[in-house]
Amino acid sequence: MHDTKIAIIVRDDLATWQKLNVTAFLMSGITGANPDIIGQTYRDKDGKTHLPMSVQPVIVLAGAANVLTNIRKRAHDRGVPTVAYIEEMFATGHDDANRAVFAEHAADEANTVGMALRADKKIVDKITKGAKMHG
């Protein structure tokens, strides 16, 4: 059992491909900041190996733009590190451009399309209040 929880929250009005894209990018940020969550290599019946995955479950939630803005603020106010993805990043083509466009926008703007965080379970539940299970 884990004392922490990983939550990824995506804006509910995104196209399916955008939700999947954002989720993948956000989880890479959580993994990069927490390499200890990566388990052992998987081996199938034929002896072929596959890359390891997170040993910790990930919850995927969804919410409206204002819900994501509130989550971003609550996490910041509590000092919980986050991964954030903004709408303008869909139009860029590489990491440097993502970082540049991200720097042009404030946290309280309604353009956050995805957030991810890992913290104590109770804290994550408080921060993500208002988001619902993605369905």
Contact 5, 118 (CB under 8 A): yes
CA separation for the pair 70, 108 (Å, rounded): 8
| Domain range annotation of the chain | 4-36+54-133
**For 80-93, what is each residue's pLDDT tens digit?**
999 999 999 999 98
**For 25-74, what is each residue's pLDDT tens digit?**
999 999 999 999 999 999 999 999 999 999 999 999 999 999 999 999 99
Which run of H or E residues covers position 95?
helix 95-103
Q: How many residues are recorded in the chain?
A: 135
Residue 1 pLDDT class (50, 70, 90 cuts): confident
Q: Which H, E and C letters describe 36-80, residue by residue?
A: HHECCCEECCCCCEECCCECCCEEEEEECHHHHHHHHHHHHHHCC
Given the candidates 2.60.40.1120, 3.40.1490.10, 3.90.245.10, 3.90.320.10, the CATH classification of the domain at 4-36+54-133 is 3.40.1490.10
pLDDT at 83: 97
pLDDT at 2: 87
DSSP code at position 7: E
pLDDT at 135: 77
Q: Which two tokens stand for residue 30?
A: 């959580």
